[in-house]
């Protein structure tokens, strides 16, 4: 499925869980915020996830990457939110087996973009993302982060962040 950071992740929890997460959370995610949605999210789960699985000593790690635009006039606010993420959001991301969550910002051709990356170490991604997407604090977080973002062409209707396909990984 396509990733979202959001927000939890921002979006991979959003508008359907994973996208939010990846995003919110992937924005933080969480929002991913993250992500995100953020976004195979609760916001999802398909052969994209399978392509991103890597066996680990304690189980399977699924890696997710997603991208979204950032409104220039909201850049400072978005960065302030993530400089001091709400403790409840970080706790929820960890409870949902989200780890190694990072959101990067880049300017390309005068436009701002966010790239979210996170790893999922749980047993039921869709269930974990659904729980995040239903959480009132996550919904509140996304209400802050979503207006800062610009959905990109090709992003599924029910997701915030555009999921990316992994083409290379080195442990």
Selection from 167, 141, 146, 157 nearest residue 68 by Cα: 146
CA dihedral angle for residue 120, residue 26, residue 159, residue 16, rounded to 10 degrees: 60
Q: Which pLDDT belongs to residue 128? A: 97
What structural domains and CATH numbers belong to the chain? 18-163 (3.30.70.100)
Among 51, 19, 42, 43, CA closest to 116: 19
Neighbours of 88 (CB within 10 A): 14
37-69 pLDDT tens trace: 333 333 333 333 334 544 444 578 999 999 999
Query: In this predicted structure, what is the pLDDT of residue 58?
Result: 52
Please tell me the distance from the alpha carbon of residue 14 to that of residue 23, in angstroms, as a whole number: 8
SS3 40: coil
- pLDDT tens, the chain, 171 aa long: 323 333 333 333 333 333 433 333 333 333 333 333 333 333 333 333 334 544 444 578 999 999 999 999 999 999 999 999 999 999 999 999 999 999 999 999 999 999 999 999 999 999 999 999 999 999 999 999 999 999 999 999 999 999 999 999 998
């Amino acid at each position: 499925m396509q990733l979202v950071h959001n927000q939890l992740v921002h979006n991979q929890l959003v508008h359907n869980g994973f996208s939010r997460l990846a995003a919110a959370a992937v924005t933080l995610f969480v929002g991913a915020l993250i992500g995100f949605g953020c976004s195979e999210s609760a916001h999802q789960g398909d052969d994209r996830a399978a392509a991103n699985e890597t066996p680990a000593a304690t189980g399977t790690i699924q890696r997710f990457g997603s991208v979204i635009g950032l409104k220039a006039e909201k850049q400072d606010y978005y960065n302030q939110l993530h400089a001091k993420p709400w403790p409840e959001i970080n706790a929820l991301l960890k409870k949902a087996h989200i780890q190694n969550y990072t959101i990067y910002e880049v300017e390309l051709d005068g436009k701002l973009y966010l790239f979210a990356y996170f790893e999922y170490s749980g047993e039921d991604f869709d269930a974990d993302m659904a729980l995040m997407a239903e959480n009132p604090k996550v919904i509140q977080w996304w209400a802050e982060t979503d207006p800062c973002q610009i959905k990109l062409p090709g992003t599924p209707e029910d997701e915030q962040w555009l999921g990316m396909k992994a083409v290379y990984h080195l442990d």
